[in-house]
Structure formats: structure tokens, C-alpha cells
Chain A
């Protein structure tokens, strides 16, 4: 589930508020958006790939929020990892066409 928005990295562009398919965030004028409805999060990780500042962290657990409060420092190494993996950053664009599903389907034949 969505766990963190980093006030240090967030530019208050509110893209996450717009793109979340289950309306988890509320915009706050001039400030970092707030996670207003964490229970509605479907753990789809799409807010992370749409965030141009890599300021969001979605935890692995889809059933419940993380028991302990997640510190940004602890997840800093994961920052933007999904966006890079699908080629949605400037220096990873080549990965957009890296879909190897055909290799897997070929191996099953």
C-alpha cells in the first residue's frame, strides 16, 4: 500500500492526486498531497511511475499498511526503481521496448 510521500522530493505538482485510480490522495494547496484514504489503495504502484520527482513509496503489502512507520531513508535505494525498470525516465527510455514475454511464451511451447 501507499506508505510515503517525501516532502523533500515532492514538487506539489499533484499528478499523483490526478492519476490514482482509487483517489487515495488529497491535494493541499501549495503543499505536498496527503494520503487521505490509504485503505482504498490497490497497491498497483502506478503513482510511482507517474511521479516525475520519484517522491512516492508504495509498500509491498496489499492487505494492510506497514505495521511500523516507514522512514524515507530506509527506502531511498528503491526510489524511482519501478519507473526506471519500465523505461519511463530519460536515461532508461531504451527499456520501454524490453518486453520479453515472447521469450517466456516460446519456452512454454
Chain B
């Protein structure tokens, strides 16, 4: 197959990229790992959106709220651009039939989206714009031309295991972040595949130390809806209140308590109005409770913290300009796959900025990739070869077990002791084990077609963990969500982005918060 622009991933960022590129006259193929419309973290959720009308005071306030939380790493020009683009795109959703609610005064409220509705509409818009969708078609590796530019991708149909190859003039990575198969809602397809493919083509990452977001969920359930726990009280196994435990500003207290024993929550601080609003705002929050026979307002239920990694962290592929170009020619990135530090610095929760970033960076990446495709002189005639990374090329005669590798990586990234509460020693010890796993993977044989997807997911998770912890070691302070208990203070001299990349040898570097290169990779 051949196309102008190949979009990998069909969540909010990928669908907006496809729409944006197709509207600019590019031929577009969107390849989704699952089904474009249900794939990704947005589809099964409800999400607030950073939708702020063009009022100078309101936008100034919106930008100021997250500055300190994010460790002063966000860029004002990027925030302005995201606010502007998001406002226009959300208005367009309304014009295209998205059923935004009205409040009691009859005003339209456009600052949140229901995942099933939103993504069903996005699929329709992608098709309406003339882009072709390939469902259940995960990309496994990029095609790279003789000059190092990206020229398409190879993948498989996950149902038949048949291979596919698409030559493209440019590629958008919109594969989401990496949540390490923690079973947080909607994240099972989000294993860092795009980071791995892009890094194999030489792309750089940024902010990978901001990768330890954990969300509250009932211990048995996938449903993570941290907002609702603003109305929760938290108790231990004896029924005693846990001092300082809170969804916002007290989640680390919950993590500490979970290291001691079971923790229970109860949404008993919600009054009648809040209870009714919760049911209407996100019906699926209540499905697990209703089906398990628990009333979350009156009965304590055991909770856990599920790792959401970079899905709700802010690290990802480094962008070099507002066309959402990465450091590799012909390669663009959007949504959780691209670093969100540009508008959030080192911290976000779910929704809001994340949703705004996905749609804005998606639209920009589609536009950028379409412009690159128009100017790509060699076009589809150029010779391109697959990157042939781990699990795809012949090794030294021993196989590796993807399920065992996934467990081994999870054992490094799930524990609060290593990832939530970080220290130089802890990260270094974990990296020794992760590097050893990488050498094993490097020596392994290529996976069989029926194992290729799981094998590449496992490799992507391993690579992501190594960039995370190497970046965490390089940031010798606490900033944003990166909390080091051996270095608890924010160091004003480290107001820079930590860049990273590399596969066999992982490197880190620095870029100052105003975007100009500071020094070569260390």
C-alpha cells in the first residue's frame, strides 16, 4: 500500500491528525492497533477539556493555575496555541453534531466530552474527510530511507497475523503513552509502541522522568476516575481515617498507606446534587459497583493505585516546532505519544490539558505531515528499509517469552518504592536489571508472526522504563510529579527539559525551558 500520510493510532490525536491532513488534500491511511472509535484511554472514559473562551483574563488565569504544579516547565507560546486551537476544534465538534449539554441557565457547556460519543464522531469525521481506516492493524516498525527520513511502516493484522507494509511520504505517531498493562481503564493498547518505533528511527524523547502518574481505582476494577474521589474519605482496615489522604494533594499518603496494608474509600462526602451529577457525568464509573453490589456512597470499598505511566504523565517524543515535527525528518508526533511538558511541564492529571493537547497537537501533526508530504521530492520512489529492531530480526538463537518480560518490567515500574517515591540508588538498581533484560532481548530471535505484537509491546515497555529511569537519574531534584526522596527540593538551576533516547546505549541530555539547545547529549 502507498499513501501520502500514514497516521499510526486512532484515538483523539490520531483521528484529528487524519482529519487535518486529509482536509489539506493529502491521501491518508490511519492504522489503529484496535478499533478506531473504541481504542485508547479516551473512548471508555469521560474527560474534561481545557476549553477556555478567548478572553485575556480567563486565559491568563487558565495558564497560571498549573505553572507551579508543573514545575515551571510549560511554555506560554505553546499554551496560547493549544488554547486557541482547542477552542476552535471543540466548537467544530458541536457544529458536527456532538451533543454538548446545557446548564440550568440554558448555556451550552463545552468543557467536557463523553468518550464513546466523542470517538464515534471522530471515526465518522475521519471517514468523511476521505481518510482510510485500517482497524486491528498495529504498526510494528517504521520504514527508513537512505537519508534517515521516515518513509512508512510495517505491521500486522492482529486477527490474521498477516503482515502489511505501507510506504508513505510522512508518518504521524499517535500511539498514546505507556501504562505498562496496569489495567487502568482503556490503556491495554498503550504500551509505548510509538516511542520504540520512533527511537529506532533516531527520534528523541523529552520529560520521560514525568512518568509516574498513579490513579485511584477499586481494587478489582479498571475504572479510574480520580475526580470523583475528591468526595471520598479514606480509611485503613480497622476503619480508622487516614490522615492527609486525598485524591488531590494527598495521593502519596494513599500510596504510603497501601505499603502498610489495605486502604478503603467511600464517596460519603458527596451530597445529593453531587451524587446525581456523578451518575450523569460518567455512568461507567458506577458499572463495576452496581454489578458487584456495592453502594460507593455508603459502603467502604478497597482501593488501589494503578500506574498510568506517561498516559497521564507528561513525557513523550520531543517536538521541535508547532508543526509537531520530531527530530527525525518525515516523522510527526501527537497526543500522549508526544511530550506534553510544553503545556503542562512535569504534571497533569487526567483529562483537561491532556484532551486539549491530543486534539491540538493532532491537528498540527496532520497539517505538518501533509505539508512535508507535498514537499517530499523523492516521494514514494525512494528506497526504504524496515528498522528491524528487537523481536523482529534474527538473534543469536534463543527465544524470549513476552509474557515473562512484561512481568519483569512491571516488577520494576509498578512498586511505589521504586517509581512513585524515587531515589538515585533505587533508580540505578532498577536500571541495572532493566539493562540486563535489554541485553537478553537483543540476543533473542525474531518472534513468530502470532507472537510479534506481544513481543514488540514487551520490548516497548522495557525501552520506556529505561528512558524513564535514566531521565529520573538525570533530574537530581524533585519537580512536577518526579519526586525524589533523596533530593526533595526543587533546584532552580534545573529549569530545563531532560531529553533521552537510544536503545542499546540510553543517553540523556538537556534543553532549557525556552526551547534552545543547552548542551550536547551527556
Do A and B belong to a common assembly? yes
Given contacts A18-B135, A46-B38, A63-B183, contact A82 B283 (CB under 8 A): yes
Q: Determine if B25 is an interface residue (Cβ-Cβ < 8 Å).
A: no
Smallest Cβ distance from B465 to chain A, in angstroms?
21
Closest to B219 in A: A63
Given contacts A22-B188, A60-B287, A102-B112, contact A44 B276 (CB under 8 A): no
Q: Determine if B103 is an interface residue (Cβ-Cβ < 8 Å).
A: yes
Closest to A27 in B: B159
Stretch of B14-22, B41-49, B163-171 on the interface side: B41-49
| Structural contact, B220 and A60, CB atoms closer than 8 A | yes
- In Å, the complex CA distance between A59 and B291 comes to 7
Q: Determine if A61 is an interface residue (Cβ-Cβ < 8 Å).
A: yes
- In Å, the complex CA distance between A100 and B273 comes to 10
| Structural contact, B101 and A100, CB atoms closer than 8 A | yes
Q: Determine if A72 is an interface residue (Cβ-Cβ < 8 Å).
A: no
Given contacts A44-B222, A99-B46, contact A104 B111 (CB under 8 A): no
- In Å, the complex CA distance between A107 and B117 comes to 25
Q: Determine if A42 is an interface residue (Cβ-Cβ < 8 Å).
A: yes
- In Å, the complex CA distance between A43 and B100 comes to 26
Closest to A48 in B: B287
B280-294 CB mask vs A (1 if < 8 Å, else 0) is 111110011111100
Point out the residue from A78, A99, A103 that lies within 8 Å of B114, measured CB to CB. Answer: A99
| Structural contact, B273 and A42, CB atoms closer than 8 A | no
Q: Tell which of A75, A96, A100, A107 has the most Cβ of chain B within 10 Å.
A: A100
Given contacts A46-B116, A78-B291, contact A60 B221 (CB under 8 A): yes
- In Å, the complex CA distance between A22 and B112 comes to 26
- In Å, the complex CA distance between A62 and B183 comes to 7
Which residues of chain B from 100 to 120 have a CB within 8 Å of any chain A CB?
A: 100-103, 109, 111-112, 114, 116-117
Point out the residue from A42, A43, A96, A105 that lies within 8 Å of B117, measured CB to CB. Answer: A96
Given contacts A44-B44, A86-B117, A104-B274, contact A21 B34 (CB under 8 A): yes
Q: Determine if A10 is an interface residue (Cβ-Cβ < 8 Å).
A: no
Q: Tell which of A82, A87, A99 has the most Cβ of chain B within 10 Å.
A: A99
Specify which chain A residues have a CB less than 8 angstroms from the CB of B35 in the assembled complex.
18-21
Given contacts A44-B186, A62-B220, A88-B116, contact A97 B99 (CB under 8 A): yes
Specify which chain B residues have a CB less than 8 angstroms from the CB of A59 in the assembled complex.
291
Which residues of chain A from 10 to 52 have a CB within 8 Å of any chain B CB?
A: 18-23, 40, 42-46, 49-50
Give residues in B with beta carbon < 8 Å to A: 33-35, 37-40, 43-44, 46, 48, 99-103, 109, 111-112, 114, 116-117, 135-136, 158-159, 183, 185-189, 220-223, 227-228, 230, 273-274, 276-284, 287-292
25 residue pairs bridging A and B, Cβ less than 8 Å apart: A18-B35, A20-B35, A23-B136, A23-B158, A42-B183, A42-B186, A46-B43, A59-B291, A60-B221, A60-B287, A60-B288, A60-B292, A61-B220, A63-B220, A78-B291, A81-B287, A85-B283, A96-B99, A97-B99, A99-B100, A100-B281, A104-B278, A107-B273, A107-B277, A108-B230
